[in-house]
């Protein structure tokens, strides 16, 4: 097990302040899956569909890679072994119960955040976007030791992996897209379903001895990824929603409505599926994956179709 410095986190804990907590909790949220959904939705419904799609793949891919590394390294989060995590983590009890089932090294927020915003930095030339990307990389990472759930070393390792991964992805994204598009549909879904099944089985085996059970977040990533990959090509062929159509005010309306519909899908299906089976059962795992896949389909396909039909957006020429 890694012996990282807990005293650095203890120092931050003892020097928390209300303004700093608001700042870091905001960027901590932006590094959660829900935060990426907000940013990707903003880009998708107001600016550039292809960029939004690739940013979504970048974030989810980095999260899945991070889950793999965490599982292999198996370093517990700060204060878990001492049993004091409930007192020292600045997160809600529900969030703490989820985080304690995951390992610490490297930080997923630092790794996925640096991958996501490095890709955005590379793809967009505007200075203000690049400056915002740098700020998000730094503060999303630093938020984690501030709230007590990661070592500082976890953040450095996360940045060290996430930034090169994003640069490699940006360099080879067109080749990867061409290779994927050359595969027939059944082969694409066989590859996707097979790799997802292996990932899920491997996770349950790896965490079989973990007293807190396997982390559920990985099912959210896989489900959302499945929904996005399924819906994006259908939207491009059948709906052809133009994200730059209409005024800024109408684009903002689209963004807000889309976020409400995606969040509503998750909120509606959660209690319904909970009646069928608990999350940690095999059936519950499947239902959680389906729930997030449905949210991805609603966001990527359902919302554009709705907006074109009711006149909140125009369709691109066929």
Closest listed residue to residue 221, CA positions, set 194, 201, 196: 196
Q: What is the DSSP letter of 314?
A: P
pLDDT band at 317 (very low <50, low <70, confident <90, very high): confident
pLDDT band at 267 (very low <50, low <70, confident <90, very high): very high
Cα 311 to the chain's mean position, in Å? 30
Q: So where are the chain's domains?
A: 1-182, 194-318
| Predicted pLDDT of residue 3 | 64
Q: Is 26 helix (H, G, I), strand (E, B) or coil?
A: helix
Closest listed residue to residue 118, CA positions, set 70, 69, 169, 76: 169
C-alpha–C-alpha distance, residues 38 and 48, integer Å: 14
Residue pLDDT, tens place only, 183-199: 998 899 899 899 999 98
Rg of the chain over Cα atoms, rounded to whole angstroms, equals 20
Q: Is 271 exposed, middle or buried (0-12, 13-18, 19+ CB in 10 A)?
A: exposed
Report whether pLDDT(1) > 50.
Answer: no
* % of the chain at pLDDT higher than 70: 99
C-alpha–C-alpha distance, residues 71 and 204, integer Å: 11
Residue pLDDT, tens place only, 233-251: 999 999 999 999 999 999 9
Whether residue 47 contacts residue 212, with contact meaning beta carbons closer than 8 Å, is answered with no
The H or E element containing residue 291 is: helix 282-297
* % of the chain at pLDDT higher than 90: 76
Give the angle 219-254-109 at the CA atoms, nearest 5°: 35
Report whether pLDDT(210) > 70.
Answer: yes
The H or E element containing residue 160 is: helix 152-182
Mean residue pLDDT across the chain: 93
Whether residue 64 contacts residue 199, with contact meaning beta carbons closer than 8 Å, is answered with yes
Which CATH architecture is the domain 1-182 placed in? Up-down Bundle (1.20)
C-alpha–C-alpha distance, residues 88 and 97, integer Å: 13
Residue pLDDT, tens place only, 122-170: 999 999 999 999 999 999 999 999 999 999 999 999 999 999 999 999 9
């Amino acid at each position: 097990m890694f012996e990282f410095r807990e005293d650095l986190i203890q120092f931050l804990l003892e020097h928390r302040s209300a303004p700093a907590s608001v700042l870091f909790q905001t960027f901590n949220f932006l590094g959660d899956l829900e935060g990426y959904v907000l940013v990707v939705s903003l880009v998708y419904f107001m600016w550039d569909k292809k960029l939004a799609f690739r940013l979504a793949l970048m974030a989810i891919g980095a999260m899945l890679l991070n889950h793999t590394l965490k599982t292999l390294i198996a370093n517990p989060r700060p204060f878990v072994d001492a049993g004091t995590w409930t007192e020292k983590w600045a997160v809600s009890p529900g969030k703490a119960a989820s985080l304690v089932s995951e390992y610490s090294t490297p930080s997923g927020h630092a790794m996925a955040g640096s991958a996501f915003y490095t890709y955005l930095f590379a793809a967009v030339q505007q200075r203000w976007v690049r400056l915002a990307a740098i700020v998000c990389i730094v503060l999303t990472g630093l938020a984690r030791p501030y709230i007590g759930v990661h070592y500082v070393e976890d953040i450095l390792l996360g940045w060290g992996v996430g930034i090169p991964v994003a640069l490699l992805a940006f360099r080879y994204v067109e080749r990867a897209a061409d290779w994927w598009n050359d595969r027939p549909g059944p082969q694409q879904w066989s590859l996707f379903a097979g790799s997802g099944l292996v990932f899920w089985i491997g996770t349950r085996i790896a965490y079989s001895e973990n007293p807190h059970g396997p982390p559920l977040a990985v099912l959210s990533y896989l489900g959302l990824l499945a929904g996005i990959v399924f819906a994006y090509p259908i939207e491009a062929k059948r709906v052809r929603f133009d994200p730059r159509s209409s005024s800024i005010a109408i684009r903002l309306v689209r963004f807000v409505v889309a976020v409400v519909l995606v969040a509503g899908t998750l909120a509606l299906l959660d209690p319904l599926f909970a009646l069928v089976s608990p999350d940690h059962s095999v059936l519950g795992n499947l239902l959680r994956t389906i729930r997030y896949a449905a949210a991805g389909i609603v966001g990527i396909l359902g919302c554009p179709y709705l907006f074109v039909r009711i006149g909140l957006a125009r369709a691109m020429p066929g």
